[in-house]
Amino acid sequence: MTLGPLMIDVLGLELSEQEREILQHPLVGGVILFSRNYESPQQVAALTESIRALRDPHLIISVDHEGGRVQRFRKGFTRLPPVGALGMHYMQHPQQTLQRAEISGWLMAAELRTIGVDFSFAPVLDLDYGVSEIIGDRSFHRDPEAVTDIARAYIHGMRRAWMPAVGKHFPGHGAVEVDSHLGLPVDTRHFEDMWQADMLPFRQLCQKELAGIMPAHIVYEQSDDLPAGFSPFWIKEILRDRLGFQGAVLSDDLSMEGAVVMGDSLARAEAALSAGCDMVLVCNNPDSVIQVIDGLKVADDPVRHMRLIRLHGRHATNRDDLLASQEWKQAAKTVLSYAPDPELELDLA
């Protein structure tokens, strides 16, 4: 059975019978988990196991687990600092920053892999211009070269834990004030300015480091009148043809306000897939999921399937073995050393 182009969510701590039925629909290819799906490492591992058991190849299981403000699983997991805490010291201590970034990427990925999550939507490759309501310290740095270098080290850490990297938000979310969860941002900059700045991390990392890329729900009005996630210009002409990206393109959540301009949920899904997305996220609205499943007409695509299959994590480690390892203990101490957190609950004995 091939992986379908829809990534959807589930409501609670375990699957309902209706959710089991929906997840077996051929249009579905993945599941994204949220804080409401998490009670403990043991519980969420049982949830992911039940999801994986439904299909062969198994559905992709993802989560937003960057650290800082965006970490869905907390109690029982290392409290990860925002990645901006890494970039603060880059200019003065570049090598130390890169070492910490690799360790942090490994720690994030290794803990998630023990409970059956394939990947986190990470890293954020946006630049921190100091104006965005939603990016801020989710960004490694303001300087595009620094973002590229730190992100590359972070991704190498993820790879050591057998987790693919999905970079966001192409071609750059950091220079607009409006949060695309709440409205449709418009970026007025010219293409060449973005090419030299915001797009640099994507340009440098898309050939070897990134298995997936998420476009932004932003209109870049000097280049196209459609939000990037629905734009053949940005996805096909720039990302695929000009940058040569061969991985999976995954839309941001189609339930966000930044996507409303494209019509109802079905119209949004159709537009995103037509523009070149391989997978579209429909979250936090069960009625929209049903509408899309009932109305969407797409043919099986072996190329899309292969791109999505590469988002499966591999070689998951047993959680008890991980927490007993010296590598995990040292990684947790490293995180504490550069970003102390009074709420961090770690047993490093």
Specify the pairing of strand 6-8 against strand 28-33.
parallel
Measured between alpha carbons, how far is residue 320 from residues 71, 107, 120, 206, 278 in Å?
21, 14, 21, 34, 35
Cα separation, 138 vs 128, in Å, equals: 8
Active-site entry in 25, 179, 181, 341? 181
| Distance between CA atoms of residues 296 and 27, nearest Å | 8
- Alpha-carbon distance of 120 to 157, in angstroms, equals 13
Is 252 labeled as catalytic in the residue annotation?
yes
C-alpha 270: how far from its chain's center? 21
Q: Which residues pair with 167 in a beta bridge?
A: 213
CB contact at 8 A, 247 and 258:
no
Burial of 192 (0-12, 13-18, 19+ CB in 10 A): exposed
Q: What distance in Å separates the CA atoms of residue 223 and residue 143, rounded to the nearest whole number?
A: 23
| Choice among 128, 252, 253, 278 that is catalytic | 252
Reply yes or no on whether 181 is catalytic.
Answer: yes
Catalytic residues: 181, 252
